[in-house]
A and B are shown apart, each in its own frame.
Chain A
Amino acid sequence: MPNSPLTPGIVPARLSAEALARNFADHEPPFDLHEARVAADRCYFCHDAPCMAACPTTIDIPLFIRQIATGTPEAAAKTIWSQNILGGICARVCPTETLCEEACVREAAEGKPVEIGRLQRFATDTAMAKEVHPFSRSPSTGKRVAVVGAGPAGLACAHRLAMKGHEVTVFERRPKAGGLNEYGIASYKATGGFAAHEVDWLLSIGGITLRTGVELGRDITLDALRGEYDAVFLGLGLQGVNALRAEGEEKEGVRNAVDFIAELRQAPDLGALPVGRDVVVIGGGMTAVDAAVQSKLLGAENVTIVYRRGQDRMSASTHEQDHAVQAGVRIIHNAAPLRVLGNGRVEAVEFAYTEDGPGGLTLLPETFRLKADQVFKAIGQTLTGAPDGIRPEGGKIALTPAKVWAGGDCRAGGEDLTVTAVAEGRDAAEAIHAHLTAA
């Protein structure tokens, strides 16, 4: 008897291979030419466009949309990439509803913004299919830069530096480059191995040596890098996960959502990936939503997100929340975990209702229990293993020693988004370039 959503425990193959393939297909299929034309036609080519200001990488949105409208998506892609070299993945994962599309004047006018993200994907997909790298390198400067972390921040930094003629070595502790593009982003947002393909495409500019399986702090030190290279960029992301601080969180069946997601992203066969029947996800951000939705898509019967504050405080956008609800996920607000119950392995979680007042969050006396055979912790990632010589402030890197720059999730300021990491990596590269070419 094969497994089904009703099979108790954490088991693989709750759904047929076909159902899994369907569930994990591209959740927002790409535009075809006609759709792209119609969508592009809606753009007003605004002056000093608000959408552009709302894009952390400041892509010239009106220009690239006009380039699509006039039948030159390749030129559009170049407009995108000149600001955001990871415009392909950003087109898929950016919460556009809180960025460019929220600012679009047609959102204000009609509640229907120009579909900037999907148009960006149309342009970058079209141009990437040509398999030619759009940029070439400036003559060699003879300068060498170390980039630690091959996530969006590190890759954007490395690319811009290579373009300026510097020699770049990227150190990455994981076996593959891409950071959370490869190990974190929901799989239905970046199907078909897109993240890995984009990394290869990015690296094809040349001048970038990628060294995977090398960890700063274990295999190399910051001091050594500072000695050996003319500059160092840290794009470490956030490698730690916050604890629930609920009794019994060490029980079997309780897991970090990011680890589950990373495993899912790397699974060669989704049918072999075990998931619970009653899954409880604790948290309110994108990680919580992604863990919950993907559990549901794997065939879990009941999936519940429990967030300790009200809906308006959730960092997952309303669009993401709607997406979760549509996938069949239940979202409970204003409840905090008290203890994980079960004999060695989780059987249920007990929550207290909360009240979010001016004095902070208070637990109310009333409690409830949710049946659970799998619990995912998704209450935020933290910076761990900050290299010697760097003292994080507020959990992030604010100040860096001479010759060292930082960007992306590990750096203080900015939202923890792919596009923000790209912007910070790119800007750090410009700062490094200015530093290296001064005097």
Chain B
Amino acid sequence: MADLTSNFIGIKSPNPFWLASAPPTDKQYNVERAFEAGWGGVVWKTLGAEGPPIVNVSGPRYGAIWGADRRLLGLNNIELITDRPLEVNLREIKEVKRKWRDRALVISLMVPCEEDYWKAILKAIEDTEADGVELNFGCPHGMAERGMGSAVGQVPEYIEMVTRWVKQYSRMPCIVKLTPNVTSILPPAMAANRGGADAVSLINTIKSITNVDLDNFSPFPMIDGKGSHGGYCGPAVKPIALNMVGEIARHEETRGLPISGIGGVTTWRDAAEFLAMGAGNVQVCTAAMTYGFKVVQEMITGLSQYLDEKQMRLDQLVGRAVPNFVEWQHLNLNYVTKAQINQEECIKCGRCYAACEDTSHQAIAMSPERVFSVKDEDCVACNLCVNVCPVENCITMVPMAKGALDPRTGRPVGDFADWTTHPNNPMAVQAAE
């Protein structure tokens, strides 16, 4: 068994799997059961300022997107931050931390954008012995209307300012949780960095409407005939999150800033991908909400087996894919592959043909006996056929050796050359001169 012990910005946990701030971490009962099930840490459900607690709707909070067999692929919610009194949360946090010394316990915070509020809340949580704080600049619904959550996360200056306050009034490690509801994730990440954040975590949920009730003409979840947008999470958001994590990990100004990866982590593989893209650990919400706390056990055994097979330590996986995450202009334009159909595996459904013939490059031939084969002279190697084929590994992309003649272009496969040096690129010609 590989050693999964994790040290994220000085916060130690037996594994890199934390529960994200959300209903699973809403109270002592949940958190203790999560720890019993094996979770390495939690970020406690976001606490607000002292005063009358938040009020949630008492109708449906969730919308969902399902795949085949009713597999939950995307979840959308209109829940707010904790609706339990501050002192109850603080008492429970303290008790949990006392009982579970080896687990990470980070407190998520969201208070109005004023120095005194932040000063007060940091003071209030001081003696909980929690391992750190996470600033929730992410919630895209409800709280944003009140000038908090993503309303802060969308303004880099605010992020920087609040982060500074937090670093000024608290000695705790500070994680800034970013909202994906921005045109670029870099300015908010840079702002957090400038403000002195020890790490960023991302993504929080994405503004969304999952579906519209076509009898009542209201977005869903529908509360008494009306709906509002919610925050989207679950497997569906993973691609968006991975990109944002990678962008921060590779950018020269934010490179090295620790990242807690969040968004659609459901299996060990998702987690490993986040780690490879630069996350130092991962946080999970929807997978736990779909399958229960026990789902972490598969993540633990799977990641451990993977690391063993690769003979790699956990820290050696972190960021391993970042150097290979480049901009388009740096991709090798002389790299040529061709789709190849394994006739033994092919079940002759014709989906590859329909996809290629109707919508791509007319590079698959279909014989009267339903034999499907790739026409190398037309195949541009887009791999659409691979993605629509129902049989895994039936169609593979086979790279052509250097020097071999590409029947599509009639040219031999050449050495590495990207867009920056391509003759069709006017900028390239300039650069060469």
Point out residues on A near B: beta carbons under 8 Å: 33-34, 37, 41-42, 45, 47, 62-63, 66-67, 69-72, 74-75, 78-79
Supposing A45-B291, A72-B268 touch, asked if A67 and B69 sit within 8 A by C-beta, the answer is no
CB of A63 within 8 A of CB of B269, answer: no
Asked if residues B391 and A34 are in contact (CB atoms below 8 Å), the reply is yes
User: Do the beta carbons of A74 and B305 come within 8 Å of each other?
Assistant: yes
> What are 10 A-B contacts with C-beta separation under 8 Å?
A45-B291, A47-B292, A62-B294, A67-B298, A69-B267, A70-B302, A71-B302, A72-B298, A75-B301, A75-B304
Contact call A63/B297, Cβ cutoff below 8 A: yes
> Which 8 A-B pairs give the minimum distances between C-beta atoms?
A75-B301, A70-B267, A66-B298, A72-B302, A45-B291, A75-B305, A72-B305, A70-B302
Q: B236 on the interface (CB 8 Å rule)?
A: no
Residues of B near A63 (CB, < 8 A) are 294, 297-298
Q: How far is the CB of B12 from chain A (nearest CB, A)?
A: 25
Q: CB-CB < 8 A to B301: which residues of A?
A: 67, 72, 75, 78-79
> How far apart are A386's CB and chain B's nearest CB, in angstroms?
43
CB distance from A54 to the nearest CB of B (A): 18
On chain B, the number of residues with a Cβ less than 8 Å from chain A's Cβ atoms is 17
Measured between alpha carbons, how far is A47 from B302 in the docked complex, in Å? 20
Q: A42-B69, A70-B268, A70-B269 are known contacts. Are A75 and B302 too (CB-CB below 8 A)?
A: yes
Is B102 among interface residues, defined by CB-CB distance under 8 A? Answer: no
- Interface membership of B392, Cβ < 8 A: yes
Q: Tell me the bound Cα distance from A224 to B297 in angstroms.
A: 46
Residues of B within 8 A of A (CB): 69, 267-269, 291-292, 294-295, 297-298, 301-302, 304-306, 391-392
Nearest CB of B to A111, in Å: 16
Residues on the A chain within 8 Å of B391, using CB: 34
Q: A67 vs B391: C-alpha distance in the bound complex, in angstroms?
A: 21
Q: Which B residue's beta carbon lies closest to that of A45?
A: B291
Chain B's nearest CB lies how many Å from the CB of A75? 4
Complex contacts, B302 vs chain A, CB 8 Å: 67, 70-72, 75
Q: Which of B69, B269, B297, B392 contacts A34 (CB 8 A)?
A: B392
Assembly CA distance A70 to B295 (angstroms): 12
Contacts of A34 in B (CB 8 A): 391-392
Chain B residues with Cβ below 8 Å from A74 are 305
Alpha-carbon distance between A75 and B267 when the two chains are bound, in angstroms:
13
* Closest Cβ neighbor of A69 among chain B residues: B267
Nearest residue, chain A, Cβ from B309: A74
Partner of A70, one of B69, B298, B304: B298
A-B contact count (CB 8 A): 44
In the complex, what distance in Å separates the CA atom of A227 from the CA atom of B31?
A: 52
B159 to chain A, nearest CB (A): 36
- Measured between C-beta atoms, what is the minimum distance from A188 to chain B in Å? 26
| Chain B residue with Cβ nearest A34 | B392
How many angstroms between the C-alpha atoms of A79 and B294 in the bound complex?
Answer: 14
5 more A-B residue pairs beyond the given contacts A67-B298, A67-B302, A70-B298, with a C-beta to C-beta distance below 8 A: A37-B392, A45-B291, A47-B292, A66-B295, A72-B306
- Cα A41 to Cα B69 with chains together (Å): 9
- Shortest distance between the CB of A64 and any CB in chain B (Å): 9
Interface centre among A41, A45, A66, A78 (most CB of B within 10 A): A66
Residue of A at shortest CB range from B390? A34
Please give, as numbers and ranges, the residues of chain A lying within 8 Å of B69 by CB-CB distance.
41-42
Q: Which residue of A lies closest to B293 (CB)?
A: A47
Q: Which residue of A lies closest to B303 (CB)?
A: A72
Q: How far is the CB of B273 from chain A (nearest CB, A)?
A: 12
B37 CB → nearest A CB, Å: 11
- A71 B292 Cβ-Cβ under 8 A: no
Q: Tell me whether B269 and A71 are in contact (CB under 8 A).
A: yes
Shortest C-beta distance, B302 to chain A (Å), equals 5
CB proximity of A128 to chain B, nearest CB, Å: 16
Query: Which of chain B's residues have a CB closer than 8 A to the CB of A78?
Result: 301
A67 to B69, CA, bound (A): 19
Cα-based distance from A153 to B391 in the complex (angstroms): 42
CA distance A44 to B269 in the complex (A): 19
| CB closest chain-B residue, reference A42 | B69
A67: chain B residues at CB < 8 Å are 298, 301-302
CA distance A62 to B292 in the complex (A): 12
Residues of chain A with a CB closer than 8 A to B292's CB = 45, 47
For B268, B297, B301, B302, the residue with the greatest tally of chain A CB atoms inside 10 Å of its CB is B301
Query: Would you give the shortest CB distance from A127 to chain B, in whole angstroms?
Result: 11
Please name all residues of chain A whose beta carbon is closer than 8 Å to the beta carbon of B291 when the two chains form the complex. Answer: 45
Docked pose: A33 CA to B392 CA in angstroms = 9
Nearest residue (CB) in A for B68 is: A41
A45 to B69, CA, bound (A): 13
In the docked arrangement, what's the CA distance between A33 and B305, Å? Answer: 18
Q: Which residues of A contact B306 (CB under 8 A)?
A: 72
Residue of A nearest to B270 (CB): A70
Chain B residues whose CB sits within 8 angstroms of the CB of A71 once the complex forms: 269, 302
Complex alpha-carbon distance, A275 and B302, angstroms: 51
Closest Cβ of chain A to B161, distance in Å, is 42
Which residues of chain A are near B268, meaning CB under 8 Å?
A: 70, 72
